Structures are given as C-alpha cells and as structure tokens.
C-alpha cells in the first residue's frame, strides 16, 4: 500500500521537524548519558515511527519500501542511536512476524510493536556464528507442547529493553536451511537472561547485549508460522529488507555530515578566506555530494523494485555495500574538512565518525554483501 503524496509529505515534514527540533539538540546529552529521554520516546511513538512498516490493520502506518526509505533518510540527520530504538520494530524485530507469522502471532504482537509499547529484538548472531549465520548452535528441542531453548545470542540490538525476541534456533543438527527454526520468545520468562550491556565504539544509547537461553521452556505456539524449518530463510528475507533501510539511513547521515562540513567550511577562514573557497576542500565536498547522490538513487531504485514485488536480494546487498562504505568516506572527509576541530568531541563529526563505523559491519559485513552480490550476479547470468 502506498500513501497519497500529500500524506507522505506531511509525514516526512513532521519527521524532519522532529529530528531538527527535538533530536539534534538532544544528541550531545545522548552521547554523554547513553539514555534516550522518555519525552523523546513519547514523541517517536506519537509520530508512529515504531509502526512505519506494520500494516494499518495492526495499527501501523503501512509504508511501502519507497516511503520507508525516505523516512529513514530523514531520521539519518541525527544520531543513529535515536533511530535504533524504533529501528528493530520497523525492521528486524517485527518483519519475521509480518512475513511468516500466523494470524494469531500477528494479532498478539504487531499492534504493540506498532505503538512501541513492545520493543522487538532479532536474535540471530552468536559468539561462534556471525557472518556464517547457518552455523548457529542455539538449539530448540521439542518436549510435549513446549520447546526447550539452549544457547547464547550475541550483540543483540535492543535486547536490554526488548519485550519480544525473534530467536533463530536449530531444530535439527544438519547444516541446511531447514534445520533452523524461528521462535517468538517473550522477555522475562524463566531460563532467559541478559548479559551486561556492551560498551561500544559509538552509537551510545543504542543498547546491545548477550541473550542467554538456559533450558528456557517456550510454548510450542511460539514457533514462527507454526512450522519448523523456516527460520533461516525468514532471517535472510528479513535482512534483505533491513539492508535497504540501513542503506537509506547511511544516505541521511551522509547528508547531515556533508551539511555540517559545508557550514564549517564557509565559516572557517584560513589564508584570509573561508576554506570553502579552496579547491582541495571543494573536491572533498564534490566527491561526497556525488557519492551521496549515487547511494540515494540506488536506494530509491531498489526500494521501488521491491515494492513492485521483484526479488531485491542483490540490489539490497549492493545498496548496503555502497551506502555503508560511502558514509564512512563522507564521515572521514567531514572530519578532514573540520581539521583539528573534527577530532574534538565538541563537534558532531567526531561522534558520527565513530557511529557510522558500525554500518559496514551489522546486518551483514561489506564482505558478506560482496559475497551475496557475486552469487546473485553469477546466478542471474547463468540463468539468463
Ligand atoms: N531470501 C530467501 N532465501 C534465501 C536468501 C534470501 N535472501 N538467502 C539465502 N536463502 C536461502 C537459499 O536460497 C538457500 O535455499 P536452498 O537450500 O533451497 O538452496 C538457503 O537459504 C541457504 O542459503 P545459502 O546456501 O546461501 O546459505 P549460506 O550458508 O551459504 O550463507 C549468507 C548465506 C552468507 C548469505 C548468510 O549466512 C548471511 O547473510 N550471512 C550474514 C548474516 C548477517 O547478516 N548477520 C548480521 C547479523 S543480523 S543483524
């Protein structure tokens, strides 16, 4: 479903205003305290951010991908930790249910995920299973009308505040997609504990920690879609969408960084004139602008393809690879244009430089994106 143009513009304006008026002024405090104030969470809920991608039948805004990426770009103009709180509900924390849940599972969780009352978290990665997702060891053993979960999940975004975990676990030992199932596990049940919050390089306020299952009994109806064996493919499909969202976020952050760099370059004077007058500074501005435009165009194109129902596994990986690497280069140039000031935490570019490093790693490293792109390209050529 697509919104009419006027409604979409109203939403985008509201998000841009919220970012500029409420989030940007709160960035420094977030970096220092690592806590998002309740008033801001309430504002995010009022805007409907938690339910962007959830069907209106369940209380969400039901944006299509082209619309969602535009909101993600707008959200990129501030610290990514703000987006991260709603981000799992928009993406990896809700989409398995959207894609493969039973009607009862959708009705039980999507309305509360859409409002942000419930935070969803995606538990795939493990200490020994990162890029090689299929090697995960967390096990789920059927016992009567329950499953018993054992294992540890690592770096799980929003786990410390999550009410619901989408957990990928092994229901049989072989290395094949069908050996992995997906469970919807509610926080607070016996046998589920959380590790200490991770101390990270950046994105203070975006919370991650281990999630540990120790003989954790979940009812059989927690099995996603009521079917064993669809966990791996569902996780991959969830990541296909998530990677587009993250790419859009990278575009938004790069726009913010370039804006900050240009403003600084027009104010800062050296050799008697603003440094923006120097062609070597202009080259960094130009390269950044061109790359942002390229990434933005890719993301919009891939989002439209996805909305047309086409398979965008390759396009999403191309976007994630290019946009996450691009925002790293733009952040680097933004620091360079700021000179010594760019190394000082008073300036936002120092913080963003650390924040954006994550985008080349999570939801699939750049190397995994390359692998997916090459596989898909070869497959397409051989099947042509
Ligand atoms: N959509 C639907 N199905 C998919 C899929 C996708 N995007 N990707 C893979 N599958 C299917 C395959 O078609 C295959 O099915 P068949 O067995 O019927 O052929 C099955 O899933 C297994 O896929 P594949 O053989 O490609 O598995 P691999 O173990 O080779 O690994 C990669 C695939 C590397 C792509 C996967 O492990 C991956 O994405 N790793 C990165 C994980 C990640 O992003 N982690 C970040 C943490 S989550 S925030």
Whether residue 74 contacts residue 249, with contact meaning beta carbons closer than 8 Å, is answered with: no
Pick the closest to residue 44 from 65, 57, 30 (CA basis).
30
Domain residue extents for the chain: 5-115, 120-228, 232-383
Cα(182) to centroid of ligand 1, in Å? 15
Q: How far apart are the first and last CA of the chain?
A: 31
10 Å CB burial of residue 209 (0-12, 13-18, 19+) is buried
The pLDDT tens digits for 280-330 are 999 999 999 999 999 999 999 999 999 999 999 999 999 999 999 999 999
Q: Which of 66, 228, 350, 363 is catalytic?
A: 363
- Computed from CA positions of residues 319, 324, 326, 327, in that sequence, does the dihedral angle turn out positive or negative? positive
Question: Torsion angle of alpha carbons 97, 100, 102, 104, nearest 10°?
Answer: 10
pTM, to two decimals:
0.97
Please list every protein residue whose CB sits less than 6 Å from any atom of ligand 1: 92, 124-125, 131-134, 177, 232-233, 236-237, 239-240, 313, 362-364, 368, 371-372
CATH number corresponding to 232-383: 1.20.140.10
Residue 384: pLDDT band with limits 50, 70, 90: confident
Q: What Å distances lie between residue 14 and 19, 84, 356, CA to CA?
A: 9, 19, 25
- The answer, yes or no, to whether residue 102 has pLDDT greater than 70, is yes
The pLDDT tens digits for 82-100 are 999 999 999 999 999 999 9
Q: Catalytic: 186?
A: no
Which CATH class, in words, describes the domain spanning 5-115? mainly alpha
Strands 120-123 and 164-170: parallel
Task: Name the residue with the closest Cα to ligand 1, atom 11.
Answer: 233
10 Å CB burial of residue 283 (0-12, 13-18, 19+) is exposed
Q: How far apart are CA 233 and CA 315, in angstroms?
A: 18
The pLDDT tens digits for 345-383 are 999 999 999 999 999 999 999 999 999 999 999 999 999
User: Counting atoms of ligand 1 from 1, which one is nearest the CA of 233?
Assistant: 3
Give the chain's length: 384
Which 3 state secondary structure label does DSSP give 201?
coil
Cβ-Cβ contacts under 8 Å for 209 (sequence gap 6 or more): 156, 159, 160, 194, 195, 196, 197, 198
The pLDDT tens digits for 6-47 are 999 999 999 999 999 999 999 999 999 999 999 999 999 999
The pLDDT tens digits for 228-281 are 999 999 999 999 999 999 999 999 999 999 999 999 999 999 999 999 999 999
Q: What percent of the chain has pLDDT over 90?
A: 99
Question: What is the reported pLDDT for 187?
Answer: 98
Residue 2: pLDDT band with limits 50, 70, 90: confident
Residue 1: pLDDT band with limits 50, 70, 90: low
Whether residue 237 contacts residue 124, with contact meaning beta carbons closer than 8 Å, is answered with: no
CATH number corresponding to 120-228: 2.40.110.10
Which 3 state secondary structure label does DSSP give 301?
helix
Question: What is the reported pLDDT for 225?
Answer: 98
Q: How far apart are CA 111 and CA 131, in angstroms?
A: 32
Whether residue 61 contacts residue 70, with contact meaning beta carbons closer than 8 Å, is answered with: no
């Amino acid at each position: 479903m697509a919104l009419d143009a006027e409604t979409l513009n109203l939403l985008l304006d509201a998000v841009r205003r919220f970012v500029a008026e409420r989030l940007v002024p709160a960035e420094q405090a977030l970096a220092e305290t690592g806590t998002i104030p309740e008033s801001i969470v309430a504002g995010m809920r009022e805007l409907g951010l938690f339910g962007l991608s959830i069907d209106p039948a369940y209380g969400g805004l039901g944006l299509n991908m082209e619309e969602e990426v535009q909101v993600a770009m707008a959200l990129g103009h501030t610290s990514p930790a703000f987006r991260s709180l709603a981000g799992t509900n928009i993406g990896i924390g809700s989409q398995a249910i959207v894609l493969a849940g039973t009607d009862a599972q959708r009705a039980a969780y999507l309305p509360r995920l859409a409002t942000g009352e419930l935070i969803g978290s995606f538990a795939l990665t493990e200490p020994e299973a990162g890029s090689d997702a299929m090697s995960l060891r967390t096990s789920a053993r059927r016992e009567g009308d329950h499953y018993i979960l054992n294992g540890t999940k690592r770096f799980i975004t929003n786990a410390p505040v999550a009410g619901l975990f989408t957990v990928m676990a092994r229901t049989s030992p072989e290395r094949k997609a069908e050996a992995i199932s997906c469970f919807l596990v509610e926080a607070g049940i016996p046998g589920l504990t959380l590790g200490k919050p991770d101390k990270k390089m950046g994105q203070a306020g975006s919370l991650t920690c281990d999630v540990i299952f120790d003989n954790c009994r979940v009812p059989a109806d927690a099995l996603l879609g009521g079917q064993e064996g669809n966990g791996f493919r569902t996780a991959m499909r969830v990541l296909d969408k998530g990677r587009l969202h993250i790419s859009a976020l990278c575009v938004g952050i790069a726009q913010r960084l370039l804006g900050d760099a240009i403003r600084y370059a027009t104010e800062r004077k050296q050799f008697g004139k603003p440094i923006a007058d120097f062609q070597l500074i202009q080259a960094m501005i130009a390269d950044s602008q061109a790359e942002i435009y390229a990434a933005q165009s890719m993301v919009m194109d891939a989002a439209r393809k996805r909305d047309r129902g086409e398979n965008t596994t390759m396009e999403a990986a191309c976007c994630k690879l290019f946009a996450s690497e691009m925002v790293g280069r733009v952040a680097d140039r933004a620091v360079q244009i700021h000179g010594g000031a760019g190394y000082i935490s008073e300036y936002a570019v120092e913080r963003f430089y650390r924040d954006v490093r994550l985008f080349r790693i999570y939801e699939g490293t750049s190397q995994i994106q390359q692998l997916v792109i090459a596989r898909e390209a070869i497959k397409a050529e051989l099947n042509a």
